[in-house]
Structure 1
Amino acid sequence: MEVKLHDIGEGMHEAEILNYFVDKGDRVQNDAPLLEVQTDKMTAELTAPAEGIIEEIMFQPGDVIEVGTTILTLRTEKKEGERKSEGEPVQKRKSPIFRVKASPHTRRLAREHDVDIEKVEGSGKGGRILDEDIFSYLENKEYDEHPKADRNAVSNAPVKEAEKGVETIPFRGRRKQIAKKMTQSLYTAPHVTHFDEVDMTELLNLTNHLKTGSGRMGGKKVSAAAFFIKALQLSLKQHPVFNSKLDEEQEVIKIEQKYNIGLATATEEGLIVPVLKHVESLSLLEIHQQMKTLTEKAQQNSLSAEELNGGTFTISNVGPLGSTGATPILNFPEVGLMAFHKTKKRPVVVDDEIVIREMMNISLTFDHRVADGSQSVAFTNQFIEYIENPHYMFVEMT
């Protein structure tokens, strides 16, 4: 039986082999983990489709293969003479790392440090073991026999070559896949970025009132980013060309009927974009809560394939990092991406008077094959109107 790389995510074409959990000749049970792969969006495990014996392994860790490629072969039927003598134990690979809650990345980290992950106490939700738990375990143990068991073993951490005075960072895994996707996007879609600014004063007053006010809605924390997402959804409804994908083969622009907003999120392994689904049917409070959950799962590398697929438009909230402007690369094949930059107090003219307002820069990158500059201005102006007058959103919500 051939075990092939199957599509574990929308738009996936290839993946890098990170690690095998089996060797040639191993007997595996149905649904037992065979190997770990890295796509441009996620780390995932491939499991055995049936019980059998590993016959051949075709590739090595680090190899990049396309969807549909046979990775290994599995012999599933017993032949005469293969039965083991009575009393001889059946070969089974002990894999305690799969009996605890932990992401593939955390499991790999435990293996690299020779840590029995079953002995590690998880600090995550539901007892999930996080990367920090592995490091804490190492710090509390005497590892004299493993002097290299330190944070430099993390796949993308800097490694110094002392003899040359050169510092290197491995270019593989998610970092490599991100590079390929960014290159594809930049060289396929002609990028244009439109810049503008938005007065955040009224919106920040509203979010503060919801947080500190009294009454039934008092003490409700709703982030400004939740309002950004709702304002974008309402703006996309009125300017649907930015909620579309170009199908060059069919020569059509496909307007999406749902509003699934990708949340560009920085993690230790690189950028990842979980998708907040069906924003049009969510309240502001639901948007805030689901956004927080997705971001936490992204940091823990525990997102499912479903949570990484189906985006129609992406946001990048880099303001908290101190950004004042950027020209982001599209999350191809989406048509638009809006970045929110730092909010700071600035003197502005309002009704012929100079006043201090909370101002934020925004940048909209779009695919110039699909949309024009005038459309980007109209779309951005619509978004700005909602943010500067947040009560308008409540009128438009269904």
Structure 2
Amino acid sequence: MLEVKLHDIGEGMTEGEVIHYLVKVGDTVTTDQPLVEVQTDKMVAELTSPCAGIVKEIRIEVGETVEVGTSLLSIETKEVVEEGQKPQSESKQTIEVNANPTLKSNENSSVSIPFQRVLAAPYTRKIARDNNINLEDVRAADPSGRITEEDIFRFLEGKKISIETIADKKPAVVSEAVPDEIPFRGIRKKIAEKMTKSLFTIPHVTHFDEVNMTNLVNMREQLKTAGETVSIPAFLIKALVISLKDFPIFNAELDEENARIVLKKNYHIGIATNTDSGLIVPVVHDADKKSIKEIHEDVKALTAKAIAGQLQPFEMQNSTFTVSNVGPLGSTGATPIINYPETALIAFHKTKKQPIVNEHDEIVIGHMMTLSFAFDHRVADGATAVAFTNRFASLIEQPHKLMMEMV
């Protein structure tokens, strides 16, 4: 009998929550077949079978949080099974997987295809399970075939309409509508725990400022014309790294237990990313050692992997400073919560065309962006925060200065 235990799937992981079993007692499993989905404080991960055999016992209930090393289920290995009664032959358990898999009418055995799973984020799968919906019955609006929360809700609404009958034209009896419910666990719960810890531990102060983006926008358009496509956030991150080197207090961590402020020498920039499962923070590691083009490629790749739920644990670890780019969503201002245990977080809001006065006292149309900079008031003061954002703004407003700071 082999015990499948919760192992450390990420640096520093101590516990995880069982959110869904992909098998049940009595199922025949193959090596590397996904068995269970586990939620850590950063991601949802699938634990796979280390061997072929039969699931004999599931020991931990869905929703329970257990420590690393805890046995989740047990498998009777293939060798043990062969000594006694052999399970159904593998030839009957295996079918050819193609673009449109079908089962022949004369197939008598019950066949499961563990790897033939519909594309959907773990949180979307939760909503489907809680509403007794088979994801294979849901039509995806996305051309990639990926099922989203909106697809699930649209399916539910269609199902509701299909079973409703036309009521008599009599006065309806007013009744209280039954509210919908969304399970509060998984990534959503972990986000809540971390945000609560941050807000109740760190005395937040938020400094607002404006940055004239006109010259940077024009320079980016010139590069685009020359065949070089680089996103605005890549320039912003490079300017941030330079500013953090000038003001290392914001690339720091407060160690209260040892009464010290640790100034980090690495510049790992977290990128707050909105996904179907919640807020995920992939990390651009060693941003100070990368060109603007390399930062652009990293941000693009990490964002795509975050949305698809394909980030590896190391891609979400060791951030020293976090960026939230909410401008494309239409945001004009906010008071962001710091990504604990970091010292600060900056949010970039909507860039708008508006009248501004140039250096010749002329009224012209410029591109202005609002930023909000949240910092730990135990570690730094308002004057230092203003100096930091001034330094950052000077690099963005005069991008030729940014070029001068390249490594």
Give the TM-score range, shorter chain. Answer: 0.7 to 0.9
The AA in structure 2 aligned to 1:24 is V
Query: CA 1:320 to 1:382, structure 2 compared with 1: closer, same or farther past 3 Å?
Result: same
2:390 to 357, 374, 381: 381
Task: From the CA coordinates, give the structure whose radius of gyration is larger.
Answer: 2
| Matching of residue 226 in structure 1 with residue 234 in structure 2 | yes
| Matching of residue 258 in structure 1 with residue 275 in structure 2 | no
| Matching of residue 317 in structure 1 with residue 330 in structure 2 | no
Aligned residue for 2:57?
56
| Matching of residue 105 in structure 1 with residue 118 in structure 2 | no
Aligned residue for 1:44?
45
- Separation in 1 of the partners of 2:337 and 2:7? 28
- Separation in 1 of the partners of 2:176 and 2:70? 41
| TM-score, length of structure 2 as denominator length | 0.78
The AA in structure 1 aligned to 2:36 is L
- The CA deviation string for residues 292-325 of structure 1, in whole angstroms up to 9 with x for no partner, is 2221222222222222222111111111222111
Aligned residue for 1:171?
184
Query: CA 1:107 to 1:25, structure 2 compared with 1: closer, same or farther past 3 Å?
Result: farther
The AA in structure 1 aligned to 2:62 is P
- Separation in 1 of the partners of 2:29 and 2:51? 8
1:278 to 286, 289, 292: 286
Query: CA 1:13 to 1:375, structure 2 compared with 1: closer, same or farther past 3 Å?
Result: farther
The AA in structure 1 aligned to 2:371 is I
- The CA deviation string for residues 137-174 of structure 1, in whole angstroms up to 9 with x for no partner, is x99xxxxxx958x9xxxxxxxxxxx9624343332222
Segment of structure 1 superposing worse, 271-280 or 50-59:
50-59
- Separation in 1 of the partners of 2:81 and 2:188? 48
| Matching of residue 334 in structure 1 with residue 342 in structure 2 | yes
Query: CA 1:2 to 1:248, structure 2 compared with 1: closer, same or farther past 3 Å?
Result: farther
Segment of structure 1 superposing worse, 53-62 or 69-78:
69-78
- Separation in 1 of the partners of 2:249 and 2:116? 47
| Matching of residue 9 in structure 1 with residue 10 in structure 2 | yes
Query: CA 1:186 to 1:9, structure 2 compared with 1: closer, same or farther past 3 Å?
Result: farther
1:390 to 370, 383, 399: 399
2:381 to 369, 372, 386: 372
Query: CA 1:331 to 1:147, structure 2 compared with 1: closer, same or farther past 3 Å?
Result: same
Query: CA 1:80 to 1:167, structure 2 compared with 1: closer, same or farther past 3 Å?
Result: closer
The CA deviation at 1:377 is: 1.8
Query: CA 1:271 to 1:251, structure 2 compared with 1: closer, same or farther past 3 Å?
Result: same
Query: CA 1:382 to 1:303, structure 2 compared with 1: closer, same or farther past 3 Å?
Result: same
Segment of structure 1 superposing worse, 20-29 or 92-101:
92-101
- Separation in 1 of the partners of 2:33 and 2:378? 46
Task: Output aligned runs, 1:148-167, within 5 Å.
Answer: 164-167=177-180
Question: In 1, are the aligned partners of 2:121 and 2:308 still within 8 Å (CA)?
Answer: no
Gap regions ≥5 residues in structure 1: 140-145, 151-161, 213-217
| Partner SS state of residue 25, structure 2 | coil
- Separation in 2 of the partners of 1:68 and 1:188? 30
Query: CA 1:164 to 1:104, structure 2 compared with 1: closer, same or farther past 3 Å?
Result: closer
The AA in structure 2 aligned to 1:389 is Q
- The CA deviation string for residues 39-59 of structure 1, in whole angstroms up to 9 with x for no partner, is 332221012344454443222
Aligned residue for 1:130?
146
- Separation in 2 of the partners of 1:31 and 1:88? 19
| Partner SS state of residue 98, structure 1 | coil
Identity rate, percent: 49
The AA in structure 2 aligned to 1:379 is F
| Partner SS state of residue 364, structure 1 | strand
| Matching of residue 211 in structure 1 with residue 224 in structure 2 | yes
Aligned residue for 1:180?
193
Aligned residue for 1:154?
none
The CA deviation at 1:182 is: 0.8
Question: In 2, are the aligned partners of 1:97 and 1:116 still within 8 Å (CA)?
Answer: no
Question: In 2, are the aligned partners of 1:19 and 1:36 still within 8 Å (CA)?
Answer: yes
The CA deviation at 1:280 is: 1.7
| TM-score, length of structure 1 as denominator length | 0.80
| Matching of residue 361 in structure 1 with residue 370 in structure 2 | yes
How many residues of Structure 1 are paired with residues of Structure 2 in the alignment? 370
Segment of structure 1 superposing worse, 24-33 or 228-237:
24-33
